[in-house]
């Protein structure tokens, strides 16, 4: 449990970020074979800015958020994303070949009071570097209060009428935000060409080959460095030839949620429980190899995480935040909790999400400065 002391103002002061970081990394090494150079890369990225720092440190959020926002911790608990942020969304193809958008990383899925997925999303919107539109003019900055209201409005709609976001149907307007450009396609295949060869454990290699379609070549195994919060966990790829082109499958080590670590709970892998839950149009290539503890997915230009800061046409606007909130609402609705959540929301004032995100962002920024001072 979080070690707390009282500060002069009477608030709650958790133990230092440096202590929690060391404790979490000791635990991580007990759960998987850590790739130490990748963990070093994570440490460097954590110094970039508070937004990247937030992405890299869900374990710290899990330790502290209930103490920061005690008025939210007793809200209805639901299967939650946990590590919700504006760049934990992406695209994939479902079993019908339809292009789908939504949360595409459930590494930190856990049973959590529902408000904290929303608070983390709103916090990430506050901390995100302000993007610019593709044109030379600066975009109109979205106010933090407006951002919180857009998320909450979308969330309520997702609770009431949950469904996936299909980019060829009701969510076609989103294509301007998420469509893969020709340059991005070329960049994807250039990266694939340059991934260094690697030798995965035998169980992982067998699981990767099993996910190739009949007639595909046995392929070559490789590795890559990707993500922020998951840096340090092993990743292996198989790159094979099939029907005149290349196909890629990735296996990434999956460990229990840092939420369980932070709350001294027995770890449970809930990744597929959320990824393939009702109101989703799941990726049919997504699988969990339980014997090895690796999650396997298809990688392709149209099956990818979308990082808003990397693309000039990915301006952070209210309509996009609204649909992010909608997707979280649809996820939370999957276990029949909509009525309990709606009843709880009705008791809260209109400013609760904005106020919670403001407090959380200030806490993250304090931790970020401590990490920068650490050297």
Percent of the chain with pLDDT over 70: 90
pLDDT band at 124 (very low <50, low <70, confident <90, very high): very high
pLDDT at 375: 65
- Give the model confidence (pLDDT) of 134-164 as tens digits: 333 334 457 899 999 999 999 999 999 999 9
Region 267-294 average pLDDT: 90
pLDDT tens, position by position, 249-275? 999 999 999 999 999 988 788 889 999
Question: Domain residue spans in the chain?
Answer: 4-374
pLDDT at 346: 96
Is residue 46 scored above 70 in pLDDT? yes
Given a cut of 90, whether residue 6 has pLDDT beyond it is no
The CA distance from 148 to 124, in Å, is 11
Confidence at residue 309, expressed as pLDDT on a 0 to 100 scale? 52
83-97, 153-167, 212-226, 258-272: least confidently modelled range: 258-272
Q: What value does the mean pLDDT take over residues 98-104?
A: 94
At 180 the pLDDT is 86
* Mean pLDDT over the full length of the chain: 89
Residues 171-204: tens digit of each pLDDT: 898 887 888 889 999 999 999 999 999 999 999 9
Global pTM?
0.91
| Residue 19: HSE in the Cβ half-sphere, 13 Å Cα cutoff | 8
| CA angle, residues 177, 342, 100, in degrees to nearest 5 | 25
Distance CA 55, CA 69 (A): 19
Task: Give the percent of the chain with pLDDT over 90.
Answer: 77
The confidence band for 130, taking pLDDT boundaries of 50, 70 and 90, is: low
What are the structure tokens assigned to 112, written together? 């959590």
User: Nearest 5°: phi and psi at 145?
Assistant: -65, -40
What integer is the mean pLDDT of 46-58? 96
Closest CA to 356 of 157, 114, 131: 114
| Beta carbons within 8 Å of 86's beta carbon, 6+ residues apart | 121, 124, 125, 128, 308, 316, 321, 324
Q: What burial class does residue 308 get, using C-beta atoms within 10 Å of its C-beta: 0-12 exposed, 13-18 middle, 19+ buried? A: buried
**Size of the chain in residues:** 375
């Amino acid at each position: 449990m979080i070690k707390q002391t009282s500060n002069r103002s009477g608030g709650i002061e958790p133990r230092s970020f440096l202590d929690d970081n060391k404790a979490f990394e000791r635990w991580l090494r007990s759960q998987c074979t850590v790739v130490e150079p990748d963990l070093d890369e994570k440490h460097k990225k954590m110094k970039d800015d508070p937004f990247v720092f937030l992405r890299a440190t869900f374990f710290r959020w899990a330790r502290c958020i209930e103490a920061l926002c005690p008025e939210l911790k007793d809200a209805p608990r639901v299967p939650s994303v946990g590590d919700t942020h504006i760049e934990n969304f992406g695209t994939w193809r479902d079993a019908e070949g339809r292009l789908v958008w939504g949360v595409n990383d459930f590494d930190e899925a856990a049973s959590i009071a529902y408000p904290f997925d929303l608070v983390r999303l709103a916090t990430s919107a506050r901390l995100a570097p302000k993007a610019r539109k593709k044109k030379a003019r600066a975009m109109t900055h979205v106010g933090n209060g407006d951002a919180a209201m857009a998320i909450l409005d979308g969330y309520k709609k997702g609770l009431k009428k949950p469904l996936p976001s299909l980019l060829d149907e009701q969510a076609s307007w989103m294509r301007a935000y998420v469509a893969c450009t020709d340059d991005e396609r070329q960049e994807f295949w250039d990266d694939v060409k340059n991934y260094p060869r690697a030798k995965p454990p035998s169980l992982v290699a067998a699981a990767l080959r099993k996910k190739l379609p009949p007639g595909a070549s046995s392929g070559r195994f490789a590795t890559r460095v990707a993500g922020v919060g998951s840096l340090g966990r092993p990743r292996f790829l198989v790159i094979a030839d099939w029907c005149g082109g290349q196909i890629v499958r990735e296996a990434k080590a999956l460990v229990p949620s840092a939420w369980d670590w932070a709350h001294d709970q027995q770890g449970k892998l809930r990744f597929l429980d959320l990824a393939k839950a009702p109101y989703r149009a799941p990726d049919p290539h997504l699988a969990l190899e339980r014997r090895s503890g690796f999650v396997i997915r298809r990688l392709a230009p149209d099956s990818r995480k979308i990082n808003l800061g990397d693309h000039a046409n990915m301006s952070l606007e209210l309509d996009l935040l609204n649909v992010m909130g909608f997707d979280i609402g649809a996820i939370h609705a999957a276990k029949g909790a909509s009525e309990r959540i709606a009843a709880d929301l009705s008791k809260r004032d209109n400013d609760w999400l904005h106020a919670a995100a403001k407090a959380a962002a200030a806490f993250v920024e304090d931790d970020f400065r401590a990490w920068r001072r650490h050297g």
